[in-house]
Amino acid sequence: GLVLGIESSCDDTGVAVVRACDGAILGQAIANQVDIHAPWGGVVPKLAQEAHEAAMDSTVTSALQQAGVHAADLEAVAVTVGPGLSLCLKVGVQKARQLAAAHGLKYVAVHHMEAHALVVRASAPVTFPFLCLLVSGGHNLLVIVHGVGRYSLLGSTLDDAVGEAYDKVARLLGLELRPSGGAAVEALALEGDEQRFKFSMPLRQRPNCNFSYAGLKTAVRLAIEAEAPGPATEDNRQVRADIAASFQRVALAHLEERTRRAAAWALDSEPAIRHLVVAGGVAANKLLRSKLQGVAEEMGLDLVVPAPQLCTDNGVMVAWAGVERLALGLWEHLPASSQDNAWVDVRPRWPLTDQRDSRSLSEP
């Protein structure tokens, strides 16, 4: 069957149609809100909700049209129910429930980070259990993925996520935030000297798998205030590039060090692990990919990373998580009356490891 996936947890309205039997992407559409939030220095929930509402119907229509199907031809609708911004999640959930109830489709509630973690399996033969580094705008996690809904947490961030740090640095450097702050910092860093600023490595005295980016963020802000104050100009371009490169060197070395340790821990408890999967928006970063390639080789693992456009938020990952959950019977039937139900169940704060409905599943 075909699964429609809907993502609206933050500032992207993403919709896709994925074929369950082989993971083929038959249609996909995405509406981005970067320009709406840029003047505000962050995502404004109310504006994001309005933008999702304005974009939702046409984005669904466009994905269905590309796939050449009607909603009634689908087997299921999968939607991100959390974690994320409540106002935004509700727009997607409402649309998904309407579609499912109106056409008698199966309804699959999806965890946003599970979708990031699993999407690579749509196109690559990655088997459970695998080690996963999840790096995005709001999360920084190292987990063992034992199966759908079954995760062991090895480490997470004590403060900010690395994607958030990239976004902040992009803003401080006066960069264009499109397509993302992270991509802009990565591009500018190519022109810079990564050794010019000696930012210190976070959590050097803590030999565990946790992360911290608040200190690095502050150090970068102070460097910019001292060396390149005021607006970005051609005159201070080199120093800004040096700061970007120096930030990136430390930000990625921190990920690399923690991932190496996590791989050792993970292989210790789960010798069957064969793959290191990196997912979430920051996984689009080319330098991160090459550094983790080294870690994977050292540890005897295969590095697997989704295509860059599947790293940042999109509907495909939600549809694919839906495919995986459908195969395990983890779906709901919605009564036709629930179309008009104004009440929608979203889970704005939802730890990846808290999935009671799946915990009882047997090993695949």
Task: Give the residues lining the site for Fe ion (CB under 5 A).
Answer: 136, 313
- Helix (H), strand (E) at residue 301: none
Window 210 to 239, contacts with ligand ATP (CB under 6 A): none
Q: Is position 112 an interface residue for ligand ATP (rule: CB under 6 A)?
A: yes
- What's the token pair of residue 223? 């460097």
Contact at 8 Å (CB) between 116 and 317? yes
Residue 175 contact among ligand ATP, Fe ion, none, beta carbon within 5 to 8 Å by kind: none
- What's the token pair of residue 15? 């919709």
- Reported in sequence order, the residue ranges of 66-164 that DSSP labels E, i.e. its strands, are 76-82, 106-111, 130-135, 140-147, 150-156
The three-class DSSP label of residue 250 is helix
Cross-strand bridge partners of residue 333: 106
Contact at 8 Å (CB) between 159 and 214? yes
Which one of 100-108, 117-125, 275-283, 347-355 is the stretch in contact with ligand ATP (CB under 6 A)? 275-283
Residue pointed to by tokens 């046409």? 58
Residue 166 contact among Fe ion, ligand ATP, none, beta carbon within 5 to 8 Å by kind: ligand ATP
Roughly what angle, to the nearest 10 degrees, separates helices 237-269 and 214-227?
170
**Rounded to an integer, what distance in angstroms lies between the CA atom of residue 177 and that of residue 56?**
23
CA distances (Å), 108 to each of 79, 327, 353, in order? Answer: 6, 11, 18
Window 4 to 23, contacts with ligand ATP (CB under 6 A): 9-10
Torsion angle (degrees, nearest 10) of CA 115, 21, 23, 106: -40
Whichever of 108 and 244 has its CB closer to ligand ATP, that residue is 244
In the complex, the smallest distance separating the C-beta of residue 310 from Fe ion, rounded to whole angstroms, is 11
**Rounded to an integer, what distance in angstroms lies between the CA atom of residue 226 and that of residue 154?**
37
Contact at 8 Å (CB) between 309 and 336? no
Q: Is position 280 an interface residue for ligand ATP (rule: CB under 6 A)?
A: yes
- Reported in sequence order, the residue ranges of 267-348 that DSSP labels E, i.e. its strands, are 275-279, 302-304, 332-333
Longest CA–CA separation in the chain, Å:
63
DSSP annotation of 148 reads: T
Window 150 to 179, contacts with ligand ATP (CB under 6 A): 163-164, 166-167
Q: Is position 275 an interface residue for ligand ATP (rule: CB under 6 A)?
A: no
Q: Is position 246 an interface residue for ligand ATP (rule: CB under 6 A)?
A: no
Which one of 66-74, 144-152, 181-189, 232-240 is the stretch in contact with ligand ATP (CB under 6 A)? 181-189
Residues 285, 304, 344, 347: which binds ligand ATP (CB under 6 A)? 285
Binding pattern to ligand ATP, positions 67-96, x when CB under 6 A?
-----------------x------------
Q: How many residues bind ligand ATP (CB under 6 A)?
A: 25
Whichever of 155 and 280 has its CB closer to ligand ATP, that residue is 280
In the complex, the smallest distance separating the C-beta of residue 206 from Fe ion, rounded to whole angstroms, is 26
Whichever of 164 and 313 has its CB closer to Fe ion, that residue is 313
Which one of 29-37, 132-140, 200-208, 293-301 is the stretch in contact with ligand ATP (CB under 6 A)? 132-140
Residue 285 contact among ligand ATP, Fe ion, none, beta carbon within 5 to 8 Å by kind: ligand ATP
In the complex, the smallest distance separating the C-beta of residue 201 from ligand ATP, rounded to whole angstroms, is 18
Q: Which residues bind ligand ATP (CB under 6 A)?
A: 9-10, 84, 112, 116, 136-139, 163-164, 166-167, 180-183, 186, 280-282, 284-285, 312-313
